[in-house]
Amino acid sequence: MDYIIREALPSDAKAIHDIYGYYVANTYITFTENNPDISEYEKSIVNTKKEYPYIVACDMSNKVIGMAYAGRIRHHDAYRYSVEATIYLSNDAPKKQGIGKMLYQELENRLTAMGYKFMYGVITDDNEASIRFHEALGFEKVGHFTDIGYKFGTWKGIVWYRKQIGSLSDMPQK
């Protein structure tokens, strides 16, 4: 089956809500405990795209089966060249088809073109599939916070992964 990657649109908010909602309700993959309503996703798509890419993967019937976007790591100015990247595939998306890889590589390409230098991924520390995925794409582990999130009556940790996506030699001297 073929897939396309395209810009996320506010009209994709319901599909994104449903994809993320599965992980909110059933997993530790996200520490979010209450899935925002669809209007919040509409706003998030519009607001994210003001500074960062927000993209979706669709099957040939244009059904959204995954999304990826980037956002600010922290509010201090000096972090402006680094982003936190997020990716989710629909729980029923075809497995081992390269959809996640296509999404993340497209996100990386767009971020690089925009001048960003580092992508960070934040992963629940026992999510071996996501850790292997990030490592296969060239990310390196740069941090580990144990017992930082409490969900479903259990403490979970996170690991931070980083990938350099742009040259550091072209920085302004300011």
pLDDT of res. 96:
87
The share of the chain scoring above pLDDT 70, in percent, equals 99
> Which one, of 86, 82, 84, lies nearest residue 29 by Cα?
86
Question: In this predicted model, what pLDDT tens digit does every residue of 147-165 receive, in sequence order?
Answer: 999 999 999 999 999 999 9
Q: Which two tokens stand for residue 117?
A: 């230098």
Question: In this predicted model, what pLDDT tens digit does every residue of 64-85 receive, in sequence order?
Answer: 999 999 999 999 999 999 999 9
pLDDT of res. 154:
97
> Which one, of 122, 84, 88, lies nearest residue 103 by Cα?
88
Model confidence at 21, pLDDT cuts 50, 70, 90, reads very high
User: What CATH architecture is 3-164?
Assistant: 3-Layer(aba) Sandwich (3.40)
Paired with 7 in beta bridges are 55
Q: What is the pTM of this model?
A: 0.94
**Residue 24 burial class via C-beta count within 10 angstroms: exposed 0-12, middle 13-18, buried 19 and up:** middle
CA distance 110 to 121: 16
CA distance 29 to 24: 8
Domain residues of the chain, as ranges? 3-164
pLDDT of res. 19:
98
Q: Where are the beta strands (DSSP E) in 24-139?
A: 54-59, 64-72, 82-89, 118-124
* Section 124-133 average pLDDT: 97
Task: Report CA-CA distances (Å) from 144 to 18, 134, 147, 158.
Answer: 29, 15, 10, 6
**Mean pLDDT of the chain, nearest integer:** 96
Model confidence at 15, pLDDT cuts 50, 70, 90, reads very high
* Section 107-130 average pLDDT: 97
Model confidence at 1, pLDDT cuts 50, 70, 90, reads low
* Section 34-43 average pLDDT: 98
